[in-house]
Amino acid sequence: MKLRSSMAASLVGLSVSLAPAYAAVSPLDLVQPIADYKIYVQGKIDTLVKDTKAFTDAVKSGDLAKAKALYAPARVNYETIEPIAELFSDLDGAIDSRADDHEQKEKSADFYGFHRIEYALFSQNTTDGLGPLADKLNADVLDLQKRVAGLTVPPDKAVDGAAGLLEEVASSKISGEEDRYSHTDLWDFQANIDGAQKIVALVEPLVSKEDPALIKTVNDNFATVDGILAKYKTGDGFETYDKLSNADRKALAGPVTALAEDLSKLKGTLGLN
């Protein structure tokens, strides 16, 4: 190891990295990736609508075991396309807010959506009285489907969605706070990562032209995260969050934080405001 010789170079580092500008990506170059992204989002929402119906049917029929089993697979569709769903903040709050978002926590009258039902199913172990909540969740995802169909996806929101999904993972998925009653956090974790990877894949040819090193680092870190999560896959999903070893949680934190940092440059690299 030659420790001394590399030092002079490293000391300059960030503070003096003067360099040529990026060639701006033409807005036209983004038309196709964004169109493809909308198709992907709509596909996920169609599945979300179908799976949510099956889930809420189980809830309303009082089939507790089935409702528990359908909870995580129904919501992963939402988690993959969260950057778009979050454009409709009223629906996002209704569908996906957590008890923490409400002053009276689980007792709050305005706490509904997936996590409210999760609380009843997994913490209170009952489907009693969930009928109105189930109907509302169904209506809300149908509303989302309708609104997204009429949406012109803003390119900056789509591209920045990759960073947003990683910020979600870094701030709440890695701590196991998302699905605190069912402990199905790893389903959501993977869905966030999948959704971010989809966005990166769509713009990868454009980003590669500007900054090939960025794409390589990002893809390497995605692979590391996918590799660790794969250890926790079961036949139809994932182990519960408490099975995640402390060593793996730490091993995930590095690439997740690095991804959040690197993906925050995606928009700028593509010349988007």
Partner 1 sequence: MTTREKPILPKTTRRSLLIGVVAGALTPQLAAAGNTSVTDAPESDSVHQRQPFYGEHQPGIVTPRPAAGLVASFDVLAQNRAGLERLFKTLTERTGFLMQGGTPPSLDPKFPAADSGILGPVVTPDNLTITTSLGASLFDEHFGLQAQKPRRLSRMTSFSNDALREEFCHGDLLLQFCSNTPDTNIHALRDIVRNTPDSLLLRWKQEGSVPVRPPSPGKPKESARNFLGFRDGSANPDTTDAELMKQIVWVQPGADEPGWTAGGSYQAVRLIRNFVERWDRTPLQEQQSIIGRNKASGAPFGGATEADVPNYAGDPQGKTTPLDAHIRLANPRTAEAMAHRLLRRPFNYSNGVSKANQMDMGLLFIAYQADLERGFIAVQTRLSGEPLEEYIKPFGGGYFFALPGVRDETDFLGRALLEAAESSSTHS
Residues of the shown chain interacting with partner 1 in the complex, contacts defined by CB under 8 A? 1, 3-4, 6-8, 10-11, 13-22, 211, 213-214, 217, 221, 250-251, 253-255, 257-258, 260-262, 264-265, 267-269, 271-273
Would you say 3 or 65 has its CB closer to partner 1? 3
What's the closest the beta carbon of residue 228 comes to partner 1, in angstroms?
Answer: 13
Measured between alpha carbons, how far is 90 from 75 in angstroms, rounded to an integer?
A: 17
Residue closest to 168 by CA, chosen among 273, 48, 263: 263
Would you say 78 or 241 has its CB closer to partner 1? 241
Under a CB-based contact definition with an 8 Å cutoff, are residues 113 and 143 in contact?
A: no
Would you say 2 or 107 has its CB closer to partner 1? 2
What's the closest the beta carbon of residue 245 comes to partner 1, in angstroms?
Answer: 14
What's the closest the beta carbon of residue 91 comes to partner 1, in angstroms?
Answer: 29
Residue closest to 119 by CA, chosen among 107, 109, 131: 107
Would you say 182 or 197 has its CB closer to partner 1? 197
186 three-state secondary structure: helix
Measured between alpha carbons, how far is 57 from 131 in angstroms, rounded to an integer?
A: 9
CA-atom Rg of the chain in angstroms:
21
Residue 127 region by backbone torsions, left for phi larger than 0, else alpha for psi between -120 and 50, else beta: alpha
What's the closest the beta carbon of residue 144 comes to partner 1, in angstroms?
Answer: 30
Would you say 52 or 221 has its CB closer to partner 1? 221
